Amino acid sequence: MSFLRNDAADVIPPFGGERFPWIGGDLQTIRHFLRHDAPVPDSGEEVLIELDDGDRLLAAFHPATTVRSKGCVIAVHGLAGCMDAQHIWWLLPQVLAAGYSCLRVNMRGAGPARPLARKTYSAVAGADLVPFVDVAAARDPGVPLFMMAHSLGGTAALNMALDHPQTAARLAGMVVVGTPLDMVATAKRFRARRNHLYARHMLIALKDIAAGVPDPDLDQLAAARSSRSITEFDDLVTAPMAGYRDSAAYYSAASVDRRITDIGIPVLVLQGSNDPWVPAGQCLALPQPTDPLSGLSVVVTRGGGHVGFHEDRLNWHIRATLAWCDALADRG
């Protein structure tokens, strides 16, 4: 059995299991960090979005390469990522080949959008995803819209669906991959000694993001530079910027595990059993669906790491996502 749980067995392809040399959760996780071999996409159509507070969002739209578009996939990156992350570059050609258009988004202040925003994104930044749904609908009108979000971007996407149900209702479905549903448990897992190198790498990335803020608040910049852990960074930077007193309040508010069943659109949760960052137990505890194409469906693979899922072919989660989108699009 290649799954610990598979609520979408009639829809998605089987997971063939981990293959040499990418054996174990850590190697599954870091494969794309070790080998930057994703196909480099064309730049697409640049999309700039003005926000009410003066910040701007940046995305790139790629039209379907088929005669008729089957839908539009809004691709959302994870923490310290951007629209040019390896997992987004791997996703794009498969989405286009399957007959969909794609909107690659930068969350606020991410990657090439860093000079455009004084604030940065977080797990509660669901409101920043709302304009991207508007853009997708305008660029590819009359087709089903899907959102595929990775890691912490998935937490933000789920919060968007919960806090902005009218926007969520415009989506035919949402897929979240390796996503923290319980931010408190995920933060605890990330603080484990075995994840020290991951945490160190992520903290450096977060400090780089903070240092790139245009016209920065000097006190906030000093706080970012002095942070010795991700929790401390979230205490001093992320939580106050998001409107919370400290990291504990921020993690609690961002968690969706107790609310996720209230989302009114189809949601597919893809999770690896040996994800070193996100505990799979938070997914296994969710209720079983009555219909995998109308509510919440959970798929936990045996192995797969954090947004890895490398079997005899790379990136099984992309094929699973597109199969699920096809089924929803066919259902109409």
Give pLDDT, residue 219: 83
Based on the domain organization, do 47 and 187 belong to the same domain?
no
Based on the domain organization, do 156 and 270 belong to the same domain?
yes
> Residue 251 above 90 pLDDT?
yes
The strand pairing partners of 298, in sequence order, are 269
Domain final position from 233, 254, 275: 254
Based on the domain organization, do 219 and 301 belong to the same domain?
no
218, amino acid identity: L
Based on the domain organization, do 123 and 238 belong to the same domain?
no
Based on the domain organization, do 12 and 154 belong to the same domain?
yes
Residue 259 is assigned to a structural domain of this protein: no
Digit-coded pLDDT (tens) for 117-173 = 999 999 999 999 999 999 999 999 999 999 999 999 999 999 999 999 999 999 999
Q: What is the dihedral of CA 297, 302, 303, 305, to 10 degrees?
A: 20
Based on the domain organization, do 155 and 295 belong to the same domain?
yes
Residue 89 is assigned to a structural domain of this protein: yes
Which residues fall within 8 angstroms of residue 293, CB to CB, at 6 or more apart? 11, 266, 324, 327, 328, 331
What is the span of the domain harbouring residue 72? 3-181+264-331
Secondary structure string (H, E, C) spanning 250-278? HHHHHCCCCCHHHCCCCEEEEEECCCCCC
CATH of the domain at 65: 3.40.50.1820
Q: Which of 292, 277, 276, 285 lies closest to 257 in space, CA to CA?
A: 285
Based on the domain organization, do 159 and 203 belong to the same domain?
no
**Residue 245 to residue 249: CA distance in whole angstroms:** 6
Based on the domain organization, do 242 and 136 belong to the same domain?
no
Domain final position from 231, 254, 277: 254
Based on the domain organization, do 137 and 219 belong to the same domain?
no
Digit-coded pLDDT (tens) for 79-117 = 999 999 999 999 999 999 999 999 999 999 999 999 999
Residue 210 is assigned to a structural domain of this protein: yes
pTM, rounded to two decimals: 0.97
Give pLDDT, residue 220: 84
Which residues fall within 8 angstroms of residue 299, CB to CB, at 6 or more apart? 3, 5, 6, 7, 8, 12, 268, 269, 270, 271, 320
Based on the domain organization, do 162 and 272 belong to the same domain?
yes
Residues 236 and 227: beta-carbon distance below 8 Å = yes
Q: How many domains does the chain have?
A: 2
Based on the domain organization, do 176 and 193 belong to the same domain?
no
Based on the domain organization, do 57 and 104 belong to the same domain?
yes
Which residues fall within 8 angstroms of residue 63, CB to CB, at 6 or more apart? 45, 69, 101, 139, 140
Angle formed at CA 199 by CA 194 and CA 205, multiple of 5 degrees? 155
Residue 52 is assigned to a structural domain of this protein: yes
Mean pLDDT of the chain: 96
Q: Which of 260, 247, 117, 266 lies closest to 191 in space, CA to CA?
A: 247
CB atoms within 10 A of CB 219: 9
